[in-house]
Amino acid sequence: MKYYDNKRILITGGAGFLGSHLCKRLVSEGYEVICVDNCFTGSRKNIAELLSNPNFEFIRHDITFPLYIEADEIYNLACPASPIHYQFDPVQTTKTSVHGAINMLGLAKRVKAKILQASTSEVYGDPEIHPQPESYWGKVNPIGPRSCYDEGKRCAETLFFDYHRQHGLKIKVARIFNTYGPRMHPNDGRVVSNFIVQALSNKDITVFGDGLQTRSFCYVDDLIEGLIRMMDSPDDFSGPVNLGNPNEFSVLELAKKIIEITGSKSKIVFRPLPQDDPCQRQPDISLAKEKLDWQPIIKLDEGLKKTVEYFDKILATEI
């Protein structure tokens, strides 16, 4: 690839969990990558190995403010994803999804870039249809503690499709289901990282509710492959498309698996279920299979082992 025809790719939220994996993958493929992040839940540590690479640039910036930059493609990932973090400052969470989307869509319009939105399975809320296809409109509480995230992401999808219809922007919307792997923040409160950190330190494993609620867990490498295929798909396919692993497990099953893999002495304890916690969640990925020829290949046990190895290392050095 010649330097003058190299694609320049902007990744907002690039110093976070998913963003840092995406930055690393795209830099390794030779692209020029600009990572924009305000480091609310992300960290320079996540991208430390890229900072000296001439094809990589980090800009500390909050996307609720306008950004003037040139890019060919934009992955809009900026937004805290863990319930404790997106509920910490709910107004800022909505601003990040809504004002952030307006700013990034405006940027895409000005420089004629293709733009992908990291949407979420939370747009389905506590779903009455199982598994969830993209055609399902969801059951979302508009005024609860999760609404800043759920409704913010729904409004962002609306903005993406309106910029597409009104201004002819090339857009891509990916609805990401629970994803886990190395570089999740050890204290970010999501279930996989919480249980692994608790198990490795032989502390009680905190199962919320009766633990019979389900989630479908996708390993990060599979998800990143899906995002890139979505960005590279033909312009007449905007989505939304579900990206996730359809293998569904209860939270209690997950806790037992993690105890087994780590050989931990931890006990399982039950804690109150947070308000509006969805009972079940499983992606229907028929559309991703058909349009992107994509499906996850990493099984939960294999992905958990890799994630446990990562946390084992960082707990030994950092905590």
242 binds, among ligand NAD, ligand UDP, none (CB under 5 to 8 A by kind): none
Q: Are 96 and 63 in contact (CB under 8 A)?
A: yes
79 binds, among ligand UDP, ligand NAD, none (CB under 5 to 8 A by kind): ligand NAD
CB of residue 206 to ligand UDP, shortest distance in Å = 4
277 binds, among ligand UDP, ligand NAD, none (CB under 5 to 8 A by kind): ligand UDP
Tell me the sheet residues that pair with 37. 60
CB of residue 134 to ligand UDP, shortest distance in Å = 18
CB of residue 258 to ligand UDP, shortest distance in Å = 11
208 binds, among ligand UDP, ligand NAD, none (CB under 5 to 8 A by kind): ligand UDP
3-state SS, 101-141, equals: HHHHHHHHHHHCCEEEEEEEHHHHECCCCCCECCCCCCECC
Nearer to ligand UDP, 57 or 276 (CB): 276
Which entry of 86, 149, 180, 219 is annotated as an active-site residue? 149
Nearer to ligand NAD, 77 or 287 (CB): 77
Binding site for ligand NAD (CB under 6 A): 12-13, 15-19, 37-42, 62-64, 77-81, 96, 100, 118, 120, 176, 178-179
Nearer to ligand NAD, 55 or 96 (CB): 96
Q: Per CB under 6 A, does 181 bind ligand UDP? A: no
Which runs of consecutive H residues, i.e. helices, occur in 233-279?
251-262
CB of residue 24 to ligand NAD, shortest distance in Å = 13
Burial of 100 (0-12, 13-18, 19+ CB in 10 A): buried
CB of residue 140 to ligand NAD, shortest distance in Å = 14
User: Where does the chain show beta strands of DSSP type E?
Assistant: 8-12, 32-37, 56-60, 73-76, 114-120, 171-176, 179-180, 205-208, 214-216, 218-219, 241-243, 248-250, 268-271
CA 170/CA 237 separation, integer angstroms: 9
Q: Per CB under 6 A, does 213 bind ligand UDP? A: yes
* Concatenated DSSP letters of 187-220: TS--HHHHHHHHHHTTPPEEEETTS--EEE-EEH
Question: Two tokens at 39?
Answer: 């480091």
Contacting ligand UDP within 51-90 (CB under 6 A): 82-83
Q: Per CB under 6 A, does 26 bind ligand UDP? A: no
Q: Measured between alpha carbons, how far is residue 19 from residues 26, 156, 162, 183, 212 in Å?
A: 11, 18, 25, 10, 31
Among 74, 108, 196, 207, binds ligand UDP (CB under 6 A): 207
CA 82/CA 137 separation, integer angstroms: 22
How many chain residues interact with ligand UDP (CB under 6 A)? 14
Q: Per CB under 6 A, does 259 bind ligand UDP? A: no
Question: Two tokens at 44?
Answer: 């320079």
Buried b (16+ CB within 10 A) or exposed e, 231-241: bebeeeebbbb
CB of residue 263 to ligand NAD, shortest distance in Å = 26
Q: Per CB under 6 A, does 178 bind ligand UDP? A: yes
In the annotation, is 3 catalytic?
no
**Which residue ranges make up the site for ligand UDP (CB under 6 A)?**
82-83, 178, 190-191, 194, 206-208, 213, 215, 251, 274, 277
Q: Which residues have a catalytic role annotated?
A: 149
